[in-house]
Chain A
């Protein structure tokens, strides 16, 4: 009888000890990109507040995109990384840091996005480009443990980059 009880308890332990559930990632294996977003013209060139509901940094694995609504689709389908909260608005400069949760990842298009309406209404207002030419976005490869700094982006509300679709 004791054997049966012990076997039962052992079975429960074995069954339930296959894994221990959720776990945080090892800090050393985390990957980030970070940089500064500069708004050309300082605070003067920002559009009216009712059209700047959110500013987020978004890094896409796919580029170009099919249409404007695909920005949100890429986000929800896990093909893009984004800052979880809005970045500071109506400022001259803003720092950002974005975790790339499943490296290695090739980021083909890193942009600053502005939400001007409902959840599907976004526009790109700045693009990361090594040359400074916002019509030619640059790719970035992020490997496990990488912390890539100086992924800086300039935003010019008077001269927006071409939309990625």
Chain B
């Protein structure tokens, strides 16, 4: 590994953090109070932001807020709060002015008060973005008792989890975990591995997530390679104002399968773990220190795993105008090398010829710095830089044909400016550099460099109408391969109608440069041989959608819907393909597929009888492989997610149900290697949870949750030859003080 580059990068992050200039100019200020319109009570924690300026704050215990350092101009003040209607207020600020505002928010039970940063790389209310976006809040993670990232995504409308792949609106099938078609970021910092371009779920600090934002549709105009089908941005928590300790202990077991043929052990396999974090602030420096561990004996033989992670976040406010943060995340995963089952009749054991002594050790290290500097109320800079290192190795002898090892570091830097040009015109522009350095037994020594520039304008001069236009150019070069130049434009329109519903329209292009692994993979595993193909080109996509959302009431019961109709065209899709020109069962990654996906997504939320929370989402799509004139492989065409929350005093009862129809087609040649490759059924998964609020019941600062996952013990496959998780019964204890 290039140690010099590595050291320089760390030095640069430290320099940015500790030598950042401070700025103490003071201009005008806006002060005020946020209250409930019905009873005048203060709304603690309401978010107040001056749109397009980077200036923002939260209301304190009295509902009061203060924004200072504001230059003379007209602004829009955005006020949001969970359970209340968001407000956009025009504000005129003069020189050395002091504006006081009393802001009344109207109660709106279904409003989550969400603000997002991922749609346009700036903070805005979720209803103002021109593209479909789903948000998994910290509260959702808590109520679903998610201890793994993939669990947090399982009920997001439009997403199907295919083992290690996030399939967003049909964009991804199954590709041995390589080359994610959905970009993954943590606090805006890319977190796809430099060699395989995949998501490592255990590298995500699940215990420290504030919210997960899922932007649907091609997003390369802002995020570049990987954002072919969408973007997932994980926003981590901010340090607490006063010292706080949080902990979570979870333990449970998989029930033994109904069928004796599938029982590979007499006792029940356990899964347990813990997470703990401390957080506080010393003057301007805030910190979070966190760590966790999980041991999973698995419902399948030879599928054990032991994971642990360490997470640190430091924030420093050098002044009201300059803030920096440093994020460190390390995770380690030691697991058995399960690939597929022996057969449906022995679905919980690997093939009899599998080397059951093989173990895989993987470590992931993310170190990222973030500097925000407000030059004035019209311009602010966001500078992010960092590295993400992934290392994977199995314990076989280096001369063993199935020995695997890869060390990859991905360096990323993004310098972004936001400027307010004129009345209600915002400009976002920046430069990005990504360097992937791979030293691998599997892929050789490979360097991949990507340089990009992007610019986006948001025009909101016309009342109730926001138009977004943007473009990004990426230059990609991998060692001896030809360079590739990608040009990704986007257009978005958001319209708030006078009769209620909000409408959105967007068109955009996405691309994904081939990963180092797809171009240079040369390995053998479980009977397959993977051969290199340095000539691979980028995958591209165009996607368009129209959507609408609206809050309404029927006989006093509030409802909220979101409807999206989308269409995507894909070209040059890279698929693992059996190569008939070579001897052996050889798989090569080839640009072979043209595809078209048309779909509809509908989500309905309600609060029945004023206290029962209900949400249903329905997705239907037609994923067509134009090359073969058949349904795209590894895609389901219909799925439906439902959630019901019933609070009964200090007990809350949750039920989630998901239905995913049977994948129509898979690669038929898998039949030669995987017995009962065609054993797949529709999925009916029912989860129950019971939460006891012991704090309210017994004045003990503990929350207790009983989990029953896959309550019906329904047996299914998410990917070929892999039985999905069987019934799991668990208990989770949470506490904070």
Contact = CB atoms under 8 A, between A and B. Distances in A.
Interface in A36-51: none
Contact of B609 (A1, A15, A76): A1
Contacts of B583: 53, 117-118
Interface string B664-704: 00001101110100011101111000000000000000000
Interface stretch (A17-25, A104-112, A127-135, A142-150): A17-25
Contacts of B717: 22
Interface string B371-385: 000000000000000
B657 A24 contact: no
B715 A23 contact: yes
A154 B20 CA distance: 82
Interface in A68-100: 75-76, 84-85
Contact of A16 (B345, B578, B657): B657
B347 A24 contact: yes
Contact of B716 (A18, A21, A53): A21
B345 A76 contact: no
B715 A21 contact: yes
Contacts of A76: 668-669, 671-672
B671 A20 contact: no
Nearest to B675: A84
A12 B585 contact: no
A53 B716 CA distance: 34
B646 A5 contact: yes
B712 interface: yes
B655 A119 contact: no
A158 interface: no
Interface in B631-677: 642, 644, 646, 655, 657, 659, 668-669, 671-673, 675
A12 B671 contact: no
B396 interface: no
B580 A120 contact: yes
A12 B580 CA distance: 47
Contacts of A63: none
A22 B608 CA distance: 36
A17 B714 CA distance: 9
B655 A118 contact: no
A165 interface: no
A75 B582 CA distance: 19
Contact of A8 (B527, B644, B684): B644
Interface in B569-598: 578-586
B715 A16 contact: no
Contacts of A12: 642, 655, 657, 686
A75 B672 contact: yes
A118 B346 CA distance: 30
A15 B560 CA distance: 25
Contact of A24 (B345, B585, B683): B345
A9 interface: yes
Interface in B347-381: 347, 351, 353
B342 to A, nearest CB: 9
Contact of A20 (B672, B680, B712): B712
B347 A22 contact: yes
A22 B347 CA distance: 10
A119 B672 contact: yes
A15 B712 CA distance: 12
B580 A119 contact: yes
A24 B263 CA distance: 12
A1 B644 CA distance: 14
Contact of B584 (A8, A30, A53, A120): A53
A5 B680 CA distance: 32
Contact of B713 (A5, A15, A20, A53): A20
Contacts of A5: 612, 644, 646
Task: Count chain A CB atoms within 10 A of each CB in B585, B612, B684, B714 and give the residue with the most.
Answer: B684
B259 interface: yes
A117 B584 CA distance: 7
Interface string B240-261: 0000000000000000001101
A21 B723 CA distance: 11
Interface string A1-17: 10011001100110111
B664 to A, nearest CB: 16
B344 interface: yes
B262 interface: yes
A8 B347 CA distance: 33
Contact of B581 (A17, A21, A22, A118): A118
B714 A21 contact: yes
B245 to A, nearest CB: 37
A75 B609 CA distance: 58
Given A24-B347, A120-B580, A19 B681 contact: yes
B715 A119 contact: no
B671 A24 contact: no
A117 B683 CA distance: 39
Contact of B723 (A4, A9, A22): A22
Task: Count chain A CB atoms within 10 A of each CB in B583, B669, B686, B714 and give the residue with the most.
Answer: B583
Nearest to B346: A24
Contacts of A85: 351, 353, 527
B346 to A, nearest CB: 8
B684 A16 contact: yes
B679 A22 contact: yes
A30 B686 CA distance: 32
A21 B311 CA distance: 39
Nearest to A120: B580
B558 to A, nearest CB: 17
Contacts of B579: 118
B655 A9 contact: yes
Given A1-B609, A5-B646, A119-B585, A22 B681 contact: yes
A121 to B, nearest CB: 8
A120 B585 CA distance: 10
Nearest to B579: A118
B669 A22 contact: no
Contacts of A22: 344, 347, 679-681, 715-717, 723
B609 A24 contact: no
Nearest to B580: A118
A15 to B, nearest CB: 7
Contacts of B580: 118-120
B612 A21 contact: no
A24 B673 CA distance: 19
B671 A75 contact: yes
Contacts of B644: 5, 8
A30 B676 CA distance: 14
A17 B712 contact: yes
A16 B686 contact: yes
Nearest to A116: B583
B655 to A, nearest CB: 7
A113 to B, nearest CB: 12
Contacts of B646: 5
Contact of B345 (A4, A25, A118): A25
Task: Count chain B CB atoms within 10 A of each CB in A4, A12, A17, A30 and give the residue with the most.
Answer: A12
A9 B612 CA distance: 13
Task: Count chain B CB atoms within 10 A of each CB in A4, A16, A117, A120 and give the residue with the most.
Answer: A16
Contacts of B581: 118
20 contacts: A1-B612, A4-B608, A5-B644, A12-B657, A16-B659, A16-B684, A16-B712, A20-B258, A20-B713, A20-B714, A21-B715, A24-B262, A24-B344, A25-B344, A53-B584, A75-B671, A84-B675, A85-B351, A118-B580, A118-B584
Interface of B: 258-259, 261-262, 344-347, 351, 353, 527, 578-586, 608-609, 612, 642, 644, 646, 655, 657, 659, 668-669, 671-673, 675, 679-681, 683-686, 712-717, 723
Given A13-B712, A53-B583, A84-B673, 5 more contacts: A16-B657, A21-B716, A22-B681, A118-B579, A118-B581
Interface of A: 1, 4-5, 8-9, 12-13, 15-25, 27, 30, 53, 75-76, 84-85, 117-120
The 5 residue pairs across chains A and B that have the minimum distance between CB atoms: A16-B684, A21-B715, A22-B715, A24-B345, A24-B261
